[in-house]
Amino acid sequence: MGFVLGLLLGAVGALLYAPKAGDSTREEWRVRADDLKKRADDLQRIAQKMADDVSVKGREVIADAKRQWDSPSGTGRPGGTSGGGAGSKSS
């Protein structure tokens, strides 16, 4: 985020000190703003895809954990029939 802010401030400074006519400077600002908007849209799409992927993976992990918890062998439950949990006795 800091990099993008620095990039923007540098671009503004360069445009302000550039010896160009007002029309040319405004056109360059418009082109750069359009480019920045496209980049932001691309980043938003990438972030949304990553969030969707993580959401799907999270649901899969939760479903697997529920299946283990509800399995008839009791392997997922604390103190179940296997694993020697806190409720088991060793003699």
Task: Kindly write down the DSSP assignment for every residue of 41-74, as one continuous string.
Answer: HHHHHHHHHHHHHHHHHHHHHHHHHHHHHH-TT-
pLDDT in tens, 8-65: 788 777 767 767 777 888 888 899 999 999 999 999 999 999 999 999 999 999 999 9
Q: How far apart are CA 26 and CA 78, in angstroms?
A: 68
Distance CA 74, CA 82 (A): 7
Looking up tokens 């938003």 gives: 44
Which residue carries 């360069």 as its tokens? 14
Q: What is the pLDDT of residue 91?
A: 46
pTM over 0.75: no
Residue ranges covered by each domain of the chain: 22-68
* Contacts of residue 14, Cβ cutoff 8 Å, sequence gap at least 6: none
